[in-house]
Chains A and B, each alone.
Chain A
Amino acid sequence: MTENSLDKEQQIVNHLVGTFQNLTGKVKRNRRIEVSIEKKQITSVLNYVKDHLGFIHFSHMSCVDWLEDGYFELVYILWSPEQKIQLLVKALVDRENASVENADMIWRQLNTYQREIREMFGVNFIGMKGDKEFILEDWDNMPPMRRDFNTVDYIQEVYFERPGREDAQNVRETISKRTGEEIPEVATKYSRD
């Protein structure tokens, strides 16, 4: 087995680029491939790599919130046990009224991940079955994992806060004064005050 040969990975990328339109892909490193697709291609690409390229294992699905650019990025992480290659399939979805086609007929466990993403990011999966509530209960605010959800404002509004002690001291400073120890620059740089 050659160490740095990426032939196997490159072959798969070439295969996928040749098969699908508007698909860009690259070999990230040994045993890891990343492809970007359009949102309408999700089910066909997932089906294709599962049936023809041996990516039969679904590892994870996650969602990245690109607030500044105005879209969500759905990431499907697949694994080929035969070739020992990990495949990341990425698709961009508009942030406004985000909706994607349901893909849980390909892997049943996708249903769980999709329900979580629907609850936490508010991405609508068209045609998906399953309860509206997944982890949260009686949530009536913006989906909490969105980056424009202001957590600190929310907790100040909803929950009580215990007032701090008036004689609260900076622990690090107090100890260093007592022992004459010098505080390293890194510690002051990341200190709370």
Chain B
Amino acid sequence: MPNDKNSQKIVDIIKNAARKHSLFVLAYGTGCGAIEIPPTMTSRYDAERFGIRGMATPRQADVLLVTGYLATKTLKRVIRAYEQMQDPKYVIGFGSCTINGGMYWDSYNTIKLLDKYIPVDVYINGCMPRPEAVITGFIELQKLIAEGKADGATKYKENLDWYRANQKKVIKNWNMPDYNW
């Protein structure tokens, strides 16, 4: 969204300000990290004061939160959910498993680097990250959105072949629909 002078247009500033204050998170959890989401969303940490709240279906959600290790079987579902999401969409990798495999680094059935398969905007490290860390990650994402730098979805569209090649390397029986966003 930045123009020639690498600064945003006024309309983009307004658009991004609106977007960053209404992050709808797809209520989908993998691995053990999903257990950190209820305290983040409920009264103790109350993520809704930042405009973060859960949403039921991929088509209504803005943020895909990948909470922990991904088995290759789960990765297939995550990719499918991600591709169904409408623009603007962002991905947060949550926990050390999404960063480098974490304690499942030598598992025969879990992927180690999430950003080789879907574009990740923000990583939150920790095993598991506490709700404070989760909220810090979301604030980081909000900053990126405000600056117009959270462009994972654009990268995904541009480098779709590279992502597809990586995905098909792990998911052998590729029987998913092709979306033309």
Contacts and interface: CB of A to CB of B under 8 A. Distances in A.
Interface of A: 136-138, 140, 144, 149, 151-152, 154-155, 158-162
Interface of B: 72-73, 76, 99-101, 105-109, 111-113, 116, 166, 169-173
A144 B109 contact: yes
Contacts of A159: 101, 111-113, 170
Nearest to B170: A158
B108 A138 contact: no
**Chain B interface mostly:** loop
A158 B173 contact: no
B118 to A, nearest CB: 13
A138 B172 contact: yes
25 contacts: A136-B73, A136-B109, A137-B76, A137-B173, A138-B171, A138-B172, A138-B173, A149-B108, A151-B107, A154-B108, A155-B105, A155-B106, A155-B108, A158-B170, A159-B101, A159-B111, A159-B113, A159-B170, A160-B116, A161-B101, A161-B112, A162-B99, A162-B100, A162-B101, A162-B112
A162 B101 CA distance: 9
Contacts of A160: 111-113, 116, 166
